[in-house]
Amino acid sequence: MDGQVKSKNSLLALLKSSPSSSSLSYSSFYSSSNSSSSCTIENDIHDISPVRTGSKLKASHEVEQCRHVAENEAIEDIGMRFFNDIFGHGGIMEWKDVEKRFNLVAWTGNGPEPVVSWSEFGFCIGIGMQTSSPELARELLRALRKCKEWKSDITKSELHNFWCNRNMDGRITETDIKQTILLTASINKLSVTRDEADDYAALIMESVDNKNKGYIEYRNRSGFEVMGYCLPTAKGAAETLKFNMALILLPVCRNTITWLRKDPRLNYVLPFNDNINFHKLIAGGIVVGVILHGGTHLTCDFPRISDSDKSIFRQTIAAGFGYHQPTYMEILATTEVASGIGMVLLMAIAFSLATKWPRRRSPVLPLSLRRVTGYNTFWYSHHLFVFVYVLLIVHSMFLFLTDKWIEKTTWMYIAFPVLLYAGERIFRAIRSGSYEVDVMKASLYPGKVLHLKMQKPEGFKYRSGMYIFIQCPQISPFQWHPFSLTSGPQDEYLSVHIRTLGDWSYHIYALFQEAVLSGLQGCPKLYLDGPYGSASQDHIKYDILVLVGLGIGATPFISILKDVANGVQTAQQSDHSGLRECSLTKGPSKAYLYWVTREQNSFEWFRDVIKEIANSTKQQSVVEMHNFLTSVYPEGDVRSALLSVIQALHQAKNGIDIVSRTPIHTHFARPNWFNIFSRLSRKHVGAKIGVFYCGPSNLATELKNLCTKFSTKTTTRFVFHKENY
């Protein structure tokens, strides 16, 4: 008890010393702890002892000005909260306790907010009932009034600012207390060394920090008493939503990604090849954030606001609602909530139609849903996000309990990604208008596959493995669909293979079917956009290539085979696609193609290209192709034994496989991938082999696992890449 009285008397003595009469220059410690101050004084506090020496220091006007700035910042910096235990309460007095005391004596002044008079200040902070404490409270107020130009009455927000520490993290550390002790001593011309300040700060922490956390903290702000942990939970989820809503646009900025692919260092750091999967992953994060943010508000925050005690509501968050306690339905009708609900509904529509079954019009769906789903529906519904971002801005501007614009940070998150994406769309619209192409040849293959050979626009440069977007105004002026280029960069034309899988591809197949019958008279007009980079572009980095295509999934690899067969590995760049002509660079020395299909007539899709590569003079040592027909029983089975004999005899005599009608031998049944990888690892010891796959995801998992297995057990390194299928 004597220690507490002594502590109070010491604090009272410190406060009674008039700061304005001090002429002591400040130490360098303060200039370092307050980086915003423009004044720096080099003298250390522990080196100056005015009381001990009795000398009077004459400070310059600049030093005096720095002192006043430092006083104001330091007292505001630490707050008052750590004093309360010294005043004899036997425990930490939290803000909620101060707030309750304030509410007991508050009255409505001239303004809309409740206030207390200066005479009640000591009672509010818990030192008004102690012996000699009223004098201490008055002296504390006198010191504080030099830092704050307050009126005669104090509002709750002003008292709250006094009670809180500098950075609003709710924590006062031992360092904060030490700095305040040194500052107080210097103001009152007392000799206190840093070691002594350490001891005093430790003494205070020992008395106040009962749980040895290393800091003193407060937890409750005005909204916490009404909404509790529901509010920080919803706000935390909102921060993740801001970040994800900004991030989700970046993976679909295709021009930017294609341009960044030029830098090989970035290719090792950023997952350019997984941009679509990354886009989907972020979308999943948004779904979780929306459920957590919206669900917490609707089921927890809003009911607590509408059902809270009226007196508590008035004393805490009434100002944020115009001093009217709303009902649950009134809250739902506000701009904040209505815009949020609108966003959720639009995102639910877009997300649902972007899933695999609706996007591909799966037969699993009911007939009624199949009629309204498909790629076109997915494409148009995804543009609902234009309205989502508009509502997001509106939602962020009308926030409950948030008035300062600096706290409305949503626009800071999304400004750059939105501008980047909008710029990309404008650039694509301008560029695509200049790439109108004429169709030189159209071929119709079994399985409803359309092969288009188009005139190459002037200045159009690309690398093998890239893809383009095609628009047919006769079908829709808004729809752009991606297709891999099956022509090589050295060809004087562009070619694509389009398989009929959805609405748009069905319509374009029908249009060219009519055009072919009429001798290409009235051929549909086409526009191009691109080229854009893909995972297949990375083939030039490897010594050996393994290209695995299932069905139409072989299309991205045709142009690569042409390059490798002809020994053409040219790095190119241009202003519009990030490519330019440069010297020849070393590429793969060997390429293996494994093409797997279920139907024999699928071999007609690339028959001409395969023959061209097979008959080239360089193909014998550079390209090795393997066809697999899974509808036939495996080799060695009695049900296909005769077919195998005829196939072998015919190819030995005529050089043509009877199944594919090409020089490439066709294997029956599915490939044994383990044996294939085992053979490659033995044949190419120590080589770096790039495995590129395009097809359904079930085989992708098997191939990726085999790459990992053989890379760890052999000296051959297999690196897996998957094309979006």
pLDDT-derived band at 82, boundaries 50, 70, 90: very low
Residue 674 pLDDT level (bands cut at 50, 70, 90): very high
pLDDT at 131: 43
What is the overall mean pLDDT for the chain?
Answer: 77
Across residues 453-473, what is the average pLDDT? 88
* Helices within 297-436 (DSSP H only): 302-307, 310-316, 328-332, 335-354, 356-359, 367-370, 375-382, 385-397, 410-433
- Strands 449-455, 107-108: pairing is unpaired
d(CA 426, CA 431): 9
pLDDT reported for residue 292 = 95
When mean pLDDT is compared across 1-10, 36-45, 144-153, 622-631, the lowest value belongs to 36-45
DSSP H or E stretch at residue 192: none
Q: Examine the pLDDT at 571 and tell me if it is beyond 60.
A: no
Distance CA 557, CA 563 (A): 10
The reported pLDDT for the residue numbered 57 is: 37
* Residue 18: band (very low, low, confident or very high) from pLDDT cuts 50, 70, 90: very low
Q: Give the mean model confidence (pLDDT) for residues 136-153.
A: 59
pLDDT band at 685 (very low <50, low <70, confident <90, very high): very high
* More confident of the two residues 219 and 591: 591
Q: How do 544-550 and 526-532 pair as beta strands?
A: unpaired
Percent of the chain past pLDDT 90, that is, above it, reads 27
Q: In this predicted model, which residue has the larger pLDDT, 181 or 330?
A: 330
Q: How confident is the model over 95-100, as a mean pLDDT?
A: 76
Residue 145 reports pLDDT greater than 70: no
- First-to-last alpha carbon distance for the chain, in angstroms, is 78
Greatest mean pLDDT range, 114-128, 274-288, 526-540: 274-288
Confidence of residue 102 (pLDDT cuts 50, 70, 90): confident
Would the pLDDT of 349 be above 80?
A: yes
CA angle (226 as vertex; 225, 231 as ends), nearest 5 = 95
Residue 468's pLDDT is what?
Answer: 92
Residue 111 is predicted with a pLDDT of: 67
- Look at 179-193, 337-351, 380-394, 619-633 and tell me which has the smallest mean pLDDT: 179-193
Residue ranges of E strands in 213-349: 215-217
669: which 2 tokens? 């049944």
Average pLDDT over residues 583-597: 78
Residue 157: predicted pLDDT:
75
pLDDT at 329 over 80: yes
Q: Which of 190, 286, 198, 207 is nearest to 245 (CA)?
A: 286
Tell me what pLDDT residue 693 has.
Answer: 94
State the pLDDT confidence band at 58, using cuts at 50, 70 and 90: very low
In terms of pLDDT, which residue wins out, 64 or 360?
360
Q: Of 258-272, 378-392, 684-698, which gets the smallest average pLDDT?
A: 258-272
pLDDT of 78 reads: 45
Contact 408, 395 (CB under 8 A): no
Residue-level pLDDT at 13: 46
- The pLDDT value recorded for residue 194 is 83
- Percent over 70 (pLDDT), the chain: 75
- Strand 590-597 and strand 623-629: the pairing is parallel
What does the pLDDT read at residue 679? Answer: 94
> Is 403 a residue whose pLDDT tops 80?
no
| pLDDT at 89 > cutoff 80 | no
Point out which residues pair with 481 in neighbouring strands: 470
Q: What is the pLDDT of residue 654?
A: 85
- The confidence score (pLDDT) of residue 42 equals 35
The pLDDT value recorded for residue 651 is 79
Q: What is the mean pLDDT of the segment spanning 168-174?
A: 64
- Please state the rounded mean pLDDT for residues 594-612: 88
Average pLDDT of span 567-573: 45
What pLDDT is recorded for position 75? 47
What mean pLDDT is predicted for residues 271-282? 87
pLDDT of residue 216: 61
Query: Which pLDDT does position 164 carry in this prediction?
Result: 58
With a cut of 60, say whether residue 535 has pLDDT above it. Answer: yes
Tokens 């010393």: give the residue.
17
CA angle 613, 618, 624 (to 5 degrees): 60
Indicate whether 386 pLDDT > 50: yes
d(CA 12, CA 83): 12
Q: Return the top range by mean pLDDT from 333-347, 462-476, 635-649, 688-702.
A: 333-347
| Count of residues in the chain | 725
Which residue's structure tokens are 């000799």?
191
Res 576 pLDDT > 80: no
Asked if pLDDT for residue 77 goes beyond 90, the answer is no
Residue 400 has pLDDT above 90, yes or no: no
CB 126 within 8 A of CB 82: no
Report the C-alpha gap between 347 and 350 in whole angstroms.
5
Confidence at residue 170, expressed as pLDDT on a 0 to 100 scale: 53
Higher-scoring residue by pLDDT: 202, 496: 496
Q: Looking at 539-543, 589-593, 680-684, which range is the least confident one?
A: 539-543
